[in-house]
Chain A
Amino acid sequence: MKETPLSNCERRFLLRAIEEKKRLDGRQTYDYRNIKISFGTDYGCCTVELGKTRVLGQVSCELVSPKLNRATEGILFFNLELSQMAAPAFEPGRQSDLLVKLNRLLERCLRNSKCIDTESLCVVAGEKVWQIRVDLHLLNHDGNIIDAASIAAIVALCHFRRPDVSVQGDEVTLYTLEERDPVPLSIHHMPICVSFAFFQQGTYLLVDPNEREERVMDGLLVIAMNKHREICTIQSSGGIMLLKDQVLRCSKIAGVKVAEITELIQKALANDQKVRKEGGKFGFAESIANQRITAFRMEKAPIDTSDVEEKAEEIISEAEPPSEVVSKPVLWTPGTAQIGEGIENSWGDLEDSEKEDEGGSDEAIILDSIKMDTGEVSNIGSQDAPIVLSDSEEEEMIILEPDKNPKKIRTQTISATQVKAPSKKPVKKRKKKRAAN
């Protein structure tokens, strides 16, 4: 679906409001929207909501051979998908630009910052390493996808547990989840992206732009930082020219925000761990259940299937017995077998009507040609050979004769008399044509 363009009045309204330091949702210039983190039942599954922007993250792992030039390191793979439910404009084939930009930024933030220890993912050097795959799905787009995605990715990675492996000499044992508790990944630090939107050639700045603000912004500055105030990635796009002190100011703001967000993440992770340990119920169903009026839950309901058997027997006895379509395979020659008998060939009629002058076209009619009494011998030849010359007039034509009895049609509920009737018609037609010729 095409994206609805932003109207001029809306654009002017937003810019005027920003000039007066007002935002549509009432936030201050440096305020983030509410961040909500919830976990699923599997390890490594989480949903992050930044205001209305929602991202679902899932981490999975697999044992593979390592890359040739990095034999002792595990493999990391990141994939962000913009689902069509995020915005009608995100059609499955059509989002390349934005998607590539986001994916690239995410990779730089997480891979190049070495936040995950890839050496610890090695099982047998040069042969088996863990491949960690992070899949992020954007479920709703209300601005600032990159922040939400980076939070989802790092939370999912922290939450994930991989199966335990032990190496004894040459033997590698992979324990299932029941045998040994799964092991968390080794994560050095948590880089988080913070986005700054610039308006009016860099005069005004907003943190965490929402979708409308993103549409009217001039440029975007993304800083990925961890709580130790180390910058992991910095990217400025949109072609705005920023002064040095502007960038420094942004990095200070980012430092403060990242500290807050990291604390929130730690709290969420600790909470989830506590619930899992205590054996309480966890998962998405729990987290959404009682919060909204529009959510409704029903307990597991046992279903009375006592009368099911009787009902089923009733149905079977009333139903017609299935037609006895017993088709045994018939072996013509080694390598050629036939199951069932084909239905009447209706192509014959077509050819008849099209080529009226050519009497020879009739030979193409396969199944019914046998009954023609105009001297053709659509002789089936030996039973063994499926390939037969059908008639003397056109000897070059080779027709595959599947069977000797063209009259029978597959659905055997039709009585024999009925069967004869349809085949007579084309025969008659042909006779007429021959007479005409």
Chain B
Amino acid sequence: MKQVLKESLPTNGDTSVLAGVYGPAEVKVSKEIFNKATLEVNLRPKIGLPGVAEKSRERLIRNTCEAVVLGALHPRTSITVVLQVVSDAGSLLACCLNAACMALVDAGVPMRALFCGVTCALDSDGTLLLDPTAKQEKEARAVLTFALDSVERKLLMSTTKGLYSDAELQQCLAAAQAASQHVFRFYRESLQRRYSKS
């Protein structure tokens, strides 16, 4: 049973999240699933104790990871993703998703696709802003976060806050898909660099 810790620190502008992955490792009998791996996500905020907002983000990240991780290859084990917020300047959930994906890849957990997180903000005159800062998020009319997979840019998870029309939703989604190309290219280049030198 391998216990591997890998760390990754993606930084979106000034937002940075440190991610570590343990697993596949031993799982408590109460939590074990007989035919696949149990995925646990732990998100720690920088200030204060973890609260409800962290729990809901953990759930979103866990659902996204469960959709891509090939848990059936490691039944009755646990894969733990630990995330620590190092600094928060907007687009936190997207940064957490990117960190989690990179950490899972680095740890060698088998996945069917990579995923990335992209945040969109719609401000009061309908302008679309990708990867908003904290100030832009506060003043926006709606903030939408999407998790997209790398194979066909399909939508894995979406969470939104605010008021928007369905045309705007489709526009944001299309913009996020375009943005995800850049993120996946970044993944590829950084992984190439890492594995060619070390």
Task: Tell me the nearest residue of chain B to A87, going by C-beta.
Answer: B5
**Closest CB-CB distance, B65 to chain A, in whole Å?**
16
Residues of A within 8 A of B160 (CB): none
For A269-311 the 0/1 string (1 means CB < 8 A from B) is: 0000000000000011100100001101110110111001101
Which of B39-47, B66-74, B109-117, B139-147 is the interface stretch? B39-47
Chain B interface residue count, CB cutoff 8 Å, equals 45
- B197 engages A293 (CB within 8 Å): yes
- B26 engages A2 (CB within 8 Å): yes
A79 to B46, CA, bound (A): 11
Task: Tell me the nearest residue of chain B to A315, going by C-beta.
Answer: B170
Task: Tell me the nearest residue of chain B to A298, going by C-beta.
Answer: B186
For B12-32 the 0/1 string (1 means CB < 8 A from A) is: 011010111010011000000
Residues of A within 8 A of B190 (CB): 294, 296
User: If the complex has contacts A293-B197, A308-B178, are A88 and B9 also in contact, measured as CB distance less than 8 A?
Assistant: no
Within 8 A of B (CB), among A310-338: 311-313, 315-316
**Closest CB-CB distance, B162 to chain A, in whole Å?**
18
Instruction: Say yes or no: is B159 at the interface (Cβ < 8 Å to chain A).
Output: no
- B47 engages A85 (CB within 8 Å): no
For B182-198 the 0/1 string (1 means CB < 8 A from A) is: 10001001100110011
- A303 engages B130 (CB within 8 Å): yes
Residues of B within 8 A of A103 (CB): none
Which of A131-139, A208-216, A340-348 is the interface stretch? A131-139
- A135 engages B22 (CB within 8 Å): no
Residues of B within 8 A of A135 (CB): 46-48
User: If the complex has contacts A135-B47, A285-B14, A303-B182, are A312 and B167 also in contact, measured as CB distance less than 8 A?
Assistant: yes
- B174 engages A311 (CB within 8 Å): yes
B84 is contacted by which of A60, A92, A137, A285 (Cβ under 8 Å)?
Answer: A137
- A301 engages B84 (CB within 8 Å): no
A303 is contacted by which of B13, B87, B173, B175 (Cβ under 8 Å)?
Answer: B175
- A288 engages B14 (CB within 8 Å): no
Which of A37-45, A157-165, A246-254, A256-264 is the interface stretch? A37-45
Residues of A within 8 A of B167 (CB): 312-313, 316
Residues of A within 8 A of B170 (CB): 311-313, 315-316
- A284 engages B3 (CB within 8 Å): no
- A316 engages B166 (CB within 8 Å): yes
Instruction: Say yes or no: is A84 at the interface (Cβ < 8 Å to chain B).
Output: yes
For B31-71 the 0/1 string (1 means CB < 8 A from A) is: 00000000000101011110000000000000000000000
- A294 engages B193 (CB within 8 Å): yes
- B186 engages A133 (CB within 8 Å): no
Interface residues on A, range: 35 or more
Within 8 A of A (CB), among B105-145: 128, 130
- B84 engages A139 (CB within 8 Å): yes
**Closest CB-CB distance, B145 to chain A, in whole Å?**
16
User: If the complex has contacts A2-B26, A316-B166, A316-B167, are A139 and B9 also in contact, measured as CB distance less than 8 A?
Assistant: no
A47 to B46, CA, bound (A): 12
- A1 engages B193 (CB within 8 Å): no
Instruction: Say yes or no: is A81 at the interface (Cβ < 8 Å to chain B).
Output: yes
Residues of A within 8 A of B3 (CB): 1, 88
**Closest CB-CB distance, B124 to chain A, in whole Å?**
19
- A285 engages B20 (CB within 8 Å): no
Instruction: Say yes or no: is A65 at the interface (Cβ < 8 Å to chain B).
Output: no
Instruction: Say yes or no: is B158 at the interface (Cβ < 8 Å to chain A).
Output: no
Residues of B within 8 A of A304 (CB): 178
- A88 engages B47 (CB within 8 Å): no
A389 to B175, CA, bound (A): 57
User: If the complex has contacts A1-B22, A56-B86, A305-B128, are A285 and B44 also in contact, measured as CB distance less than 8 A?
Assistant: no
- B25 engages A1 (CB within 8 Å): yes
Residues of B within 8 A of A313 (CB): 167, 170
Residues of B within 8 A of A361 (CB): none
Residues of B within 8 A of A2 (CB): 26
Task: Tell me the nearest residue of chain B to A281, going by C-beta.
Answer: B14
A309 to B172, CA, bound (A): 9
A-B contact pairs, 9 of them (CB 8 A): A137-B46, A285-B11, A293-B194, A294-B193, A294-B197, A296-B189, A308-B174, A309-B171, A316-B166
Chain A positions within 8 Å of B, measured between CB atoms, are 1-2, 40-42, 45, 47, 56, 58, 60, 79, 81, 83-85, 88, 92, 133, 135, 137, 139, 283-285, 288, 293-294, 296-298, 300-301, 303-305, 308-309, 311-313, 315-316
Chain B positions within 8 Å of A, measured between CB atoms, are 3, 5, 7, 9, 11, 13-14, 16, 18-20, 22, 25-26, 42, 44, 46-49, 80, 82, 84, 86-87, 89, 128, 130, 166-167, 170-171, 173-175, 178-179, 182, 186, 189-190, 193-194, 197-198
